[in-house]
Amino acid sequence: MTTVKWSAVVAAVLGFAITGGAAQAQTKLKWAHVYEPNEPFHTQSVWAAGELAKRTNGRYTIDVYPSSQLGKETDINQGLSLGSVDMIISGSSFAARSYPPIGVTYYPYVFRDANHLLAYTKSDVFKELAKGYTDKTGHQILAVTYYGARHTSSNKPIKTCADMKGLKIRVPDVPAYLAMPRACGANTAPIAFAEVYLALQNGTVEAQENPLTTIEAKKFYEVQKHIALTGHIVDHLNTVVSANLWKKLSDEDKKIFSEVAQEAAARATAEIQAKEKELVGFFKDKGLTVSEVDKEDFKQNVLKNVTFESFGYRKADYDKIQAIKSEPAL
């Protein structure tokens, strides 16, 4: 670069600093989640952080903290109100602690597949539930990412609901996650996500449930012999901005944050869907038995043993979700 050109660049940078830079100082934000650095939830959050900095001309810079660095999932949800985090990725099961109706998406077998879930995120019932959460907390759900269908890994084969009777299984300490295992007579243990591998390894529990992508990322397949494709919850994560940050954003910046979050969610969703298709073969190659189950058997046991009202859910919301049309899964 010639001296003349370099001088022009420096002058432009200084001009921005004196005008735009002085008018609006740079704001540093914290974005937290509990997932691994190699998972799409993290890599796409990092991409989004870069895009937000770019599209706001550097007015907002974001550091993304993976792997529970700023706390477990309960902690980072509380952190939105406490001011320790500005943005998080977290499931509606945790949002439901503040606004129970939004957790209806965790009632087992509420979604037929990933496409049904994605159709729900564009529906009026989703908008109503997200607004209810915002009205209660002030926090804003910007986007929804497909997390994967949750399946059950264990050290014994599982084909029917009855096969889970007495099974020691780790399940997140969230009522909706407990519904299917308890309806089938399993003994549930609420072990923290970061401690699951060790608990499986040392026999504290003999099973756990998560999407195939998580079973791979957390290497649970190293300490399990079987995967039953229970598909009991078609899971998702919300990208949530704190009430404090949302209030400070201009309308233009709110639009930018929403668009970037939704683009990142779509990118991560595509990665997860592609990965799920590959993983059954991967686990079989690792020596695990991967089995289909009688989902209707599991579903009927849940409907018989677990009421919507016991979770604070509304059956009307469930019925609206059931009525949503979607393309069948490929």
Q: For position 175, what pLDDT does the model report?
A: 78
Q: Is residue 13 part of a domain?
A: no
> What's the CATH number where 308 sits?
3.40.190.170
Q: Is residue 4 part of a domain?
A: no
Q: Is residue 175 part of a domain?
A: yes
Collapsing DSSP states into helix, strand and coil, what is residue 154?
A: strand
Question: Using CA atoms, how far apart are residues 40 and 291, in angstroms rounded to an integer?
Answer: 26
Q: Is residue 110 part of a domain?
A: yes
Q: For position 112, what pLDDT does the model report?
A: 87
Q: What is the mean pLDDT of each run of 10 residues along the chain (330 residues)?
A: 41 41 75 94 98 97 97 96 98 93 94 94 97 98 96 97 97 86 96 94 97 92 97 96 98 98 97 94 97 93 92 94 83
Q: Is residue 329 part of a domain?
A: no
Q: Is residue 16 part of a domain?
A: no
Q: Is residue 19 part of a domain?
A: no
Task: Look at the chain and report how many structural domains it folds into.
Answer: 1
Helix residue ranges per DSSP H, 56-138: 73-82, 92-95, 114-120, 124-137
Q: Is residue 50 part of a domain?
A: yes
Q: For position 12, what pLDDT does the model report?
A: 41
Question: Using CA atoms, how far apart are residues 116 and 201, in angstroms rounded to an integer?
Answer: 35
The β-bridge relationship of strands 140-154 and 27-32 is unpaired
Q: For position 128, what pLDDT does the model report?
A: 98
Q: For position 10, what pLDDT does the model report?
A: 37
Question: Which domain covers residue 35, as residue numbers?
Answer: 27-323
Q: Which residues contact 177 (CB under 8 A, 6 or more apart)?
A: 93, 106, 171, 209, 233
Q: How far is CA 209 from CA 91, 154, 224, in A?
A: 15, 9, 11
Entry pTM: 0.81
Q: For position 329, what pLDDT does the model report?
A: 62
Query: Is the CB of residue 276 less than 8 Å from the CB of residue 214?
Result: no
Q: What phi, psi does 89 have (nearest 5°)?
A: -115, 125
Total residue length of the chain: 330
